[in-house]
């Protein structure tokens, strides 16, 4: 699954620089996560870094974007192939 940011976000700016895929950006009112770039940090870290630093715990799994660990790894490989 991709992660999502809920409206409990306080725009504290700590999650954006932690994302290794640059999937987090400022939205109109709160930060948003691009599901096409979010791999839950699979390929980079053992746990999603944005969740680790979020002070208000507003970054849950997006129930509308179910992905297996294998699918997340495939996405990671596509993203890093484009970057590299």
What is the pTM assigned to this prediction? 0.91
Q: Number of structural domains, the chain? A: 1
Express each pLDDT in 18-58 by its tens digit: 999 999 999 999 999 999 999 999 999 999 999 999 999 99
Per the domain annotation, does 68 fall within a domain? yes
CATH code of 42's domain? 3.30.70.20
- Contacts of residue 58, defined as CB under 8 A and 6 or more positions apart, other chains included, come to 5, 6, 7, 8, 9, 10
pLDDT value, residue 1: 75
In a domain, 8, yes or no: no
Residue 37 lies in a domain: yes
Q: Residue 48 has which token pair?
A: 């999603």
pLDDT at residue 83, as a whole number: 55
Domain encompassing residue 31: 16-83
């Amino acid at each position: 699954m991709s992660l999502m940011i809920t409206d409990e976000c306080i725009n504290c700016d700590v999650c954006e620089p932690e994302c290794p895929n640059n999937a987090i950006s400022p939205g109109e009112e709160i930060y948003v996560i691009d599901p096409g770039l979010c791999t839950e940090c699979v390929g980079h870290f053992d746990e999603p870094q944005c969740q680790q630093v979020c002070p208000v715990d507003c970054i849950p799994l997006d129930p509308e974007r179910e992905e297996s660990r294998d699918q997340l790894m495939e996405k990671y490989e596509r993203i890093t192939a484009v970057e590299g």
